[in-house]
Structures are given as structure tokens and as C-alpha cells.
Amino acid sequence: MTDVLDPPAPSFAPARINRRLPAHPVVAIVGATGAVGVELIESLTSRDFPVAELRLLASARSAGTRLPFRGRDLVVRDLTEDSFAGVDVAFFSAGAAVSRRFAPIAVNAGAVVIDNSSAFRMVPEVPLIVPEVNAPAMVAHGGLIANPNCVAAILTVALAPLAQAARIRRLSVATYQAASGAGAAAMEELRQATGACLEGRSLPPRVLPHPCAFNIFSHNAAVDPETGYNGEEEKVIAETRRILGRPDLPVGITCIRVPVLRAHGMAVSVEFETALSVDEARRLIAAAPGLRLVDDRAANHFPMPVEASGQEEVLVGRLRQDLGDPSGRSLALFLVGDQLLKGAALNAVQIAEALLPR
């Protein structure tokens, strides 16, 4: 549900057998009352996913809550070991600890689990999927598929068409990450803190480690004292390499939290092995699925969180040659994607769509 540092991966590794979904699957959402859970419900609705039955699951504290789905209210049930009988696909978005305990139970009950936590992302037997980038890796998924870190998902879908045209040699990334990455409570804290600041009041942070209104700070994942990189940066490096199929790709990244409700921004410099022109990069991005080119130099109009929020597409622009590379093989760009959608819920639903009968 969040992009803070999660516990190490468990040892569970499903057998590599390919499970497909029925035409009208029984769907479960674990963590249904969280920010991503709510967006999963919305994505199932907006994309007309063929749900036979939807089961909303959460902790005992949230059980009994009612959430709307296609014109009626569904009651959230307490998550137990018996919750997955008859479930065809289960979306997990309740954190790594919950996934580590309940995902194997769901898989053993016959469900395909699409997990939004970091629990299984680096387990070799578990595919880590962005459908526009590496959908073939879903073959023989064994009942468990990992949804990437929000930054890695948004970043790789933007890089994919460029990487197909010219092999990437090096990446340098700076992120501008919204409060949504730390969950619904962080988003509410930003709302309240902004109001307090405008009224001249002080509101001590409770969810995030530093004041979030009118402030930016280094991402709140733990920092490795040896490397100086935090857990979020380490996740993005490892997952970007895995999604792109480039285990040795040099990636430098700095992750920053900014006072934006939702939609992460990224300033990216991409060095290619052979030069790729700005015009060709624009053409590739404009034609690629899941992307929208927003690159109007005359109007100084480029990707913004306010325009990406609530949108399925990742916005890409500020395309130009990176003058910091005298070889002429590097491009600079800026992209923004909704962390709750392409960075989480939408990507998960797209994975499930790929498993439906064709």
C-alpha cells in the first residue's frame, strides 16, 4: 500500500505453472479500505473488468465498512485464512507483512495473487510485471505476480519505447514523490498541514517524519549508512533492472518527497549506446501505449501532477538533448504518473486483464 521500506522477501516460491483466469473471475481485494484498495475498486469499474463477484477484505478494524461498487455497497470482510475459497484472482495491497502471511494461502487455495507490496518482487520465481514493458515474463507465473514499486512502474513504462529503439547505457533519475506514496493517512496529513500553515498554525507531523506542507525532504525510507542510498532508491534500482531485463544497468537515483497529493514526477537523464534524436524520441513516446506526450515548448507546457492525477496515462515531456553528455548520446526528459493508478492499482488490474481468456 505504501512505498516505505518493507521487510525482506520471504522464502515462499510458487511452482512455475501458468494459471489463467476464467472469463468472469471471482475477485478479492486485500486492503480494500486503503488508498490503493479504493483505486483498485475504481479501476475495476472504469475498465469494465468482468467481475463475477467482488470480495472486499481488510483488517478486523475495518471489517463492516461499506464501499460502493457498480451501483451498490459491498461490506468489507475480516481477512482470515478462509477468505480465499473460490477466489480466482486476489489483489493484495495491505503491506508486505500481510502478503507474506496470506499470499501463499491464497495461491494454495487456487487464486492468482497480484501483490502490490515489496514482499515478492525480487523472488526469482515471481514475475515482476509492467504489462506494456515485459508482459511475456508472466508465462508460467505459478499463481503469484508482483506489482512493482510505484516509481519503477511509472519510470519503466516511459523508458520502454526508447529502450526498444536504442539500448540504454545509463540512467540518472531524481524523483518528486507525492504524499500518496505513503498512503491515505499521509495524504490527509498533507491536507491538514497545508490548511494549518495557511492559517498560521503549527501542525506537528505524525505520519511523515518532517513537515510536508510547503516543504520537501529526502524520502523517508531508511538510509544505508555505507552507501548513503535509502530503501526506496534501492528498490527502484533493483526493480527497474529486473523489469527491463538489464541486471547490470547503471542507475543513479535520488528520491524526494514533495507536497503533492498524488502523482509522482521524475527528472530523467538517459544515456544510450547509440544516439537517439529528440524528434524520434517524441515520435516513439507519442505512439506508445500508456503514455501521453506533453511537450509544448512554445507554451512552456510540460507534465504536471495536477494534469496526471486520476489519469491512466503517464505524461512525458521536456524532451531535449542532455548537454551534460558531450558524446551526444543522452536525452533528458520529465515525466509524471499517478502513483495510485499506474504506480499501483491500474498496473495490477492490467496484469489481471492479460490473464483473461482471449
Give yes or no: 264 in active site. Answer: yes
SS (H, E, C) 214-276: CCCEECCCCECCCCCCEHHHHHHHHHHHHHHCCCCCCEEEEEEECCCCCCEEEEEEEEECCCC
b/e per residue 18-38 (b: at least 16 CB within 10 A):
ebebeeebbbbbbbbbbbbbb
- Is the CB of residue 41 less than 8 Å from the CB of residue 70? no
Burial class (CB in 10 A: 0-12, 13-18, 19+), 61: exposed
SS (H, E, C) the chain: CCCCCCCCCCCCCCCCCCCCCCCCCEEEEECCCCHHHHHHHHHHHHCCCCCCEEEEEECCCCCCCEEEECCEEEECEECCCCCCCCCCEEEECCCHHHHHHHHHHHHHCCCEEEECCCCCCCCCCCCECCHHHHHHHHCCCCCEEECCCHHHHHHHHHHHHHHHHCCEEEEEEEEEECHHHHCHHHHHHHHHHHHHHHCCCCCCCCCCCCCCCCCCEECCCCECCCCCCEHHHHHHHHHHHHHHCCCCCCEEEEEEECCCCCCEEEEEEEEECCCCCHHHHHHHHHHCCCEEECCECCCCECCCHHHHCCCCCEEEEEEEECCCCCCCCEEEEEEEECCCHHHHHHHHHHHHHHCCCC
Give yes or no: 150 in active site. Answer: yes
The catalytic residue among 212, 219, 264, 301 is 264
The catalytic residue among 150, 212, 219, 255 is 150
**Residues catalogued as catalytic:** 150, 264
